[in-house]
Chain A
Amino acid sequence: MDALISQLQRQFRDYTISLYQQDFLDDQFTELKKLQDDGSPDFVAEVLSLFFEDCVKLISNMARALDQTTGAVDFNTVGASVHQLKGSSSSVGAKRVKALCVSFKDFCEAQNFQGCVRCLQQVDIEYKTLKTKLQDLFNLEKQIIQAGGIVPQVDIN
């Protein structure tokens, strides 16, 4: 059992580090982990889950606002949703999503329709990718705990 735990812990550590190295996550995710304890063991997962729900809602808003069939595109409306997504991605440490939002916001301000559409597609892919990866990470945590081990603290720096 110990060998299994060690192996899982190693996987968990490596995977976590890779997520940071590939810019999926940043320091703010680390901050969120600080807020998790035995009293709130699922805090990070819950916040991220809310974040992903936010993504769905906001991206849908953006898509609707970028729909040219309903008339002229209101870039302010798009921009408002992008601003919100930028904020929440920043708050949870979703680094790539946040970076995309920065570009997206620029395109909104420039009223660049193609740029906006591209960003919308990318941000959709990006949050889904992150969601999958975090699911894998949380699953690893569960496996460690089920095997009787402790989820290691991973030092990113």
Chain B
Amino acid sequence: MGKEKKQIDGGVSCLRRAEMNMMSVGGMESAPAPLDLEEVHVLAVDDSLVDRIVIERLLRITSCKVTAVDSGWRALEFLGLDNDKASAQLDRLKVDLIITDYCMPGMTGYELLKKIKESSNFREVPVVIMSSENVMTRIDRCLEEGAQDFLLKPVKLADVKRLRSHLATKDVKLSTGNKRKLPEDSDSVTITPPSPSLTISPESSPPLTISPHSSDSSSSLVEMFSSSPIDDDEDEDVLTSSPEESPIRRQKMRSPGLD
């Protein structure tokens, strides 16, 4: 275990140096290059260091590669969307999911979401919003802007596993929109599903409120993902549940991609 390393800014000991590479003082943590194209790569955005560490760990435990940044601006920078010049770092642009905090100084998660949805390269990348506040109008706004999901903080392992299962089973053609054309690639690369060892434990599926007839977890999510949007107005009451109970995540599954 001689691979433990503590960074000066009070950071984190990492045990797999090859995977772990975080906590630069500027707040942008990079995934190691080159990226394995078969692994799911998540860009996590949160201004809170504690939350970044936790979300990163949650994602890694569910077999994702993670790049964690501390602001919307850094996220755009990472995606090469911060200016008009094409990013030189083409090998870092495989992003399968963006998960962002809502309340951040400077650029909110909502604003980041909009910018991502406005970009031609990344508009099909699913964006998940995290927030400590269960505000209906906020959730609605985000979903309307194209957010894939809205997670109530504190985020739990079950939430991330559920997200992960979406990525595993999503339609392959969805993955084609989020990569820039690398010089050697003329076709898009498909994302292979995770290895069979990834299991979703029974307790990891919070009750879904979207479709009244579905009581089950990931299988119904898969169906919903490729089906038309579901009317979920009846969920209003559910969202006022107290924080002590397991929060109900509200989801609105849209027809994938091409609006």
Bitwise, B39-73 to A at CB < 8 A (1) or not (0) is 00000000011110110011001000000000000
Contact, CB under 8 Å: B50 / A50: yes
User: Taking the complex as formed, is B135 at the interface, i.e. its CB lies under 8 A from any CB of chain A?
Assistant: no
Contact, CB under 8 Å: A32 / B15: no
B48, B53, B105, B154 pick with most chain A CB within 10 angstroms: B154
Cα-based distance from A47 to B155 in the complex (angstroms) = 14
Cα-based distance from A36 to B240 in the complex (angstroms) = 32
Bitwise, B11-26 to A at CB < 8 A (1) or not (0) is 1110110000000000
- Residues of chain B within 8 A of A80, CB atoms compared: 105
| A35-B57, A35-B58 known; A47 vs B15 contact (CB < 8 Å) | no
Q: Which residue of B lies closest to A91 (CB)?
A: B154
Q: Which residue of B lies closest to A26 (CB)?
A: B244
- Residues of chain A within 8 A of B58, CB atoms compared: 35
| A39-B16, A83-B103, A92-B50 known; A50 vs B10 contact (CB < 8 Å) | yes
Cα-based distance from A40 to B50 in the complex (angstroms) = 16
Partner of B157 from the list A34, A43, A51, A53 (CB cut-off 8 Å) is: A34
Q: Which residue of A lies closest to B10 (CB)?
A: A53
Q: In the complex, how many angstroms separate the beta carbon of A134 from the nearest chain B beta carbon?
A: 14
Interface size class of A (residues with CB under 8 A): 20 to 34
Contact, CB under 8 Å: A91 / B50: yes
Give how many B residues have a beta carbon under 8 Å from the other chain's beta carbons: 23
- Residues of chain A within 8 A of B103, CB atoms compared: 83, 87
Q: In the complex, how many angstroms separate the beta carbon of B59 from the nearest chain A beta carbon?
A: 10
Cα-based distance from A40 to B54 in the complex (angstroms) = 13
| A40-B57, A49-B10 known; A54 vs B154 contact (CB < 8 Å) | no
- Residues of chain A within 8 A of B226, CB atoms compared: none
Contact, CB under 8 Å: B153 / A90: yes
Q: For the complex, would chain A's binding face be called helix, strand, loop or mixed by DSSP majority?
A: helix
Bitwise, A55-73 to B at CB < 8 A (1) or not (0) is 0000000000000000000
Contact, CB under 8 Å: A88 / B50: yes
Contact, CB under 8 Å: A31 / B15: no
User: Taking the complex as formed, is A111 at the interface, i.e. its CB lies under 8 A from any CB of chain B?
Assistant: no
Bitwise, A67-107 to B at CB < 8 A (1) or not (0) is 00000000000001001101110111100000000000000
User: Taking the complex as formed, is B173 at the interface, i.e. its CB lies under 8 A from any CB of chain A?
Assistant: no
8 Å CB contacts to B: which residues of A5-57? 28, 31-32, 34-35, 39-40, 42-43, 46-47, 49-51, 53-54
| Residues of chain A whose beta carbon lies under 8 Å from any beta carbon of chain B | 28, 31-32, 34-35, 39-40, 42-43, 46-47, 49-51, 53-54, 80, 83-84, 86-88, 90-93
Cβ-closest 10 pairs across A and B: A88-B50, A91-B154, A28-B154, A35-B57, A90-B154, A31-B156, A51-B50, A91-B51, A39-B15, A34-B157
Can you name 6 extra interface pairs (CB under 8 A) apart from A88-B50, A91-B51? Answer: A31-B154, A35-B61, A47-B53, A54-B48, A88-B51, A91-B54
